[in-house]
Structure 1
């Protein structure tokens, strides 16, 4: 599989390291090993589909140290660019297909969103955009989150996401 810096053969170990990271330092190092190879500044390589699949499978087993970094990577992928100047070099990938993989963990994302995780707002929004049958449920989740004190720091993000969803209809 084509990717950015280094070979994609390094990704499985980095993903495993992120999922089972014992410390924030370990999680951060694994995060950057994935980010620098699979995606750069939101530009996705063809390796991102496999990365997404592995992160989604590993998320329920992830240790606390790596969870937020996994959410950050998935949010970056969900909002990433699948058509860009580097496609000939790093291959292409479908953001839509990656997001549809993410919906398998929708309950985890909703739980984290209710705890105030901004990355999960982005993931849940993109799941509803790429899977229209989820829109009603996601609007309900966002509306509920607006009244949740844990979500106070991300109210603007939630409100803007609601506007985006309603404009898609």
Structure 2
């Protein structure tokens, strides 16, 4: 992730309280070996790039780093990385971003999130953790908002998930997303 972090001028990115500390928090999250470490890093990122559902400019750079992180983060960190991606993709532009004419900040984040579809599918196939699987289902659904060309593919994945033994919560989540993206 080092290269992806270096690609961004974090000190120039807008975030709640500034974005200068995010690179360290991203590295701490990626390497977290205990739940408390992962949670602490998560909140340093969450309370900065997506505060109470309001997405700031720094979220876009954060998403690109989180996608790299998903490829090699610890098992402890994975759930938190996925949750950050869902929080960003489900958010709305921060009022400060709207005031600057950056009403498309979430759309740009969703376009970046959609680049992770193969990663989410891989996690769905391998993980037995319901929270991770549900986050991946959310990310697949959110990806369709950015790229309608993914709809048929995502529908197929979701129907396949429903053909497997899954808990009621996952079944309801998938059904909701199939309705949202349009069952065909």
Q: TM-score, normalised by structure 2?
A: 0.82
Q: How far does the alpha carbon of each residue in 1:133-162 deviate from its partner, in whole angstroms, 9 at most, with x for none?
A: 110000000001112224543110110100
User: Which has more helix, going by share of residues?
Assistant: 1
Query: Once the 2 structures are TM-superposed, how far is the Cα of residue 20 of structure 1 from its aligned partner?
Result: 1.0
Q: State the match for 1:156 in structure 2.
A: 172
Equivalent in 46, 49, 55 of residue 38 of structure 1: 49
Which residue is 1:9 aligned to?
20
Structure 2 residue ranges without an equivalent (≥5):
1-12
Higher relative contact order (CA 8 A, sep 6+): 1
Q: Which moved more, 1:119-128 or 1:105-114?
A: 105-114
Gaps in structure 1 of 5+ consecutive residues: none
Q: Look up the SS of the partner of 1:9 in the other structure.
A: coil
Q: Distance in 2 between matches of 1:149 and 1:111?
A: 18
Find the aligned partners of 2:58 and 2:163 in 1 and give their Cα distance.
39
Give the match for residue 96 of structure 2: 86
> How many residues are matched?
166
TM-score, normalised by the number of residues in structure 1: 0.88
63-72 or 142-151: bigger deviation: 142-151
Distance 1:43 1:124 in 2: 21
Do the aligned partners of 1:78 and 1:122 also contact (CA within 8 Å) in 2? no
Please state how far the C-alpha of 1:87 moved relative to its aligned partner: 2.6
Aligned to 2:162: 146
Query: Residues 6-85 of structure 1 correspond to what in structure 2 (within 5 A)?
Result: 6-82=17-93, 84-85=94-95
CA RMSD between the two structures: 2.1
Whether the 8 Å contact between 1:2 and 1:89 is mirrored in structure 2 is no
Assess if the C-alpha contact under 8 Å between 2:56 and 2:105 holds in 1. no
Residue deviations 1:111-149 (CA, integer Å, cap 9, x gap)? 334544211111100111210111000000000111222
Task: State the secondary structure of the residue aligned to 1:149.
Answer: coil
Deviation for aligned residue 1:11: 0.3
Tell me by how many angstroms 1:89 deviates: 7.5
